[in-house]
Structures are given as C-alpha cells and as structure tokens.
Amino acid sequence: MDERRAWAAGRVRLGWGLVGLGVVLVVAGAIIGALNAGDGWNYGIIGGLGILAAGVGLGQVIRYRPALHDDATARRITVEERDERSVGIRTRAGNRAWVVSALFVWIALMWVSFASNGDVPALEGDLLWWYLAAAFGVPFLVYAGSITVDERRF
C-alpha cells in the first residue's frame, strides 16, 4: 500500500510542479508582452502555454490526490495506470500513432520542398491550418482506434 501511495504522491508533486510552471509562464508572458509592446509579436502564446501546463497539472492533482488518503482508491488508480496488459495496449497504440504522425511530418517536409520550386501550392493559410488539424487529429484517431481494437483482441 505505501508504494502505491508514494507513486501517487509523486504524480501529485508533478501536477503541482506543472501548475507552478504554468503560473510562471503566464506571468512571464504578460511581462514580456508589456515590455515589448508594439514590436509586432504576440506574446500571448507564452501565457497560453502556461495555461496548458497549469491545466494538465491541475488534472494530475485532481486525479491522483484521492489516492493519498484512501487505500482502495490508491489501488484502483495504480492498477488502471500500471496494469501490464493496459500498458502494453497503450504502448502499441502510441507506436502506431507515432508512425502516422511521422508520416504527416515527412509529407509536410516534401510538400514544402516541392512548393519552394513552385511544383505545388505553398502550404499556408487555410491549407496549412487544415493540414495541421489533420496532423493532430489523425494520429489521435489512430491511437484511440488501436486501443479499441486491442482491448477486444487481447
């Protein structure tokens, strides 16, 4: 039981660390933006990353904190996260998603190369947005689909 709680405590510490990092980034982004106002750059992206980090960190804290005080919850959470069959299924799904993601990046590299010669339209504007959306969404679908199939298969 102590090992499970220690593992959960580590996750909670990581969560609080991410929250702290998020706060730092938000403040830093605001300060940098104020100091460099008018230089044409929008430093809101720094604050946006900070909000993302804080959100992920808060999610970790909310998920793992109950495990610190209750043995049954600690057991349930650690089994969900560390069950070898589940870990194997998620690993396979991640590998497949990575292959698809790498394919998207390779295609984009080829596209940019050909576009520089004028052989294909440049990857910009709406086309770029849709391409990036696909590069994010398709690997995620592959990941989710792989998990769904393997949960039934194994």
Partner 1 sequence: MKNRLEEFRTQRSWTQQELADMVDVSRQTIISLERGRYNPSITLAFRLARLFRLRIEDVFLYSDEEDRDG
Q: Per rule CB under 8 A, is residue 148 in the interface with partner 1?
A: no
**Burial class of residue 25 in the structure, from the number of CB atoms within 10 Å of its CB (0-12 exposed, 13-18 middle, 19+ buried):** buried
Asked if residue 19 lies in contact with residue 61, where contact means CB atoms within 8 angstroms, the answer is yes
Q: Per rule CB under 8 A, is residue 83 in the interface with partner 1?
A: yes
Asked if residue 110 lies in contact with residue 40, where contact means CB atoms within 8 angstroms, the answer is no
Contacts of 44 (CB under 8 A, 6+ apart): 29, 33
Q: Which residues inside 52-81 make contact with partner 1, applying CB under 8 A?
A: 75, 78-80
**In the complex, minimum distance from the CB of residue 147 to partner 1, in angstroms, rounded to a whole number:** 13
Nearer to partner 1, 46 or 89 (CB): 89
Asked if residue 25 lies in contact with residue 50, where contact means CB atoms within 8 angstroms, the answer is yes
**In the complex, minimum distance from the CB of residue 148 to partner 1, in angstroms, rounded to a whole number:** 14
Nearer to partner 1, 13 or 82 (CB): 82
Question: Helices 84-116 and 125-153 sit at what angle, rounded to 10 degrees?
Answer: 160
- Which of 41, 129, 136, 154 binds partner 1 (CB under 8 A)? It is 154
Interface region with partner 1, contact rule CB under 8 A, candidates 58-66, 82-90, 125-133, 138-146:
82-90
- Which of 13, 36, 45, 85 binds partner 1 (CB under 8 A)? It is 85
CA distances from 125 to 9, 117, 129 (A): 45, 19, 6
Q: Per rule CB under 8 A, is residue 86 in the interface with partner 1?
A: yes
Residues binding partner 1 (CB under 8 A): 75, 78-80, 82-86, 151, 153-154
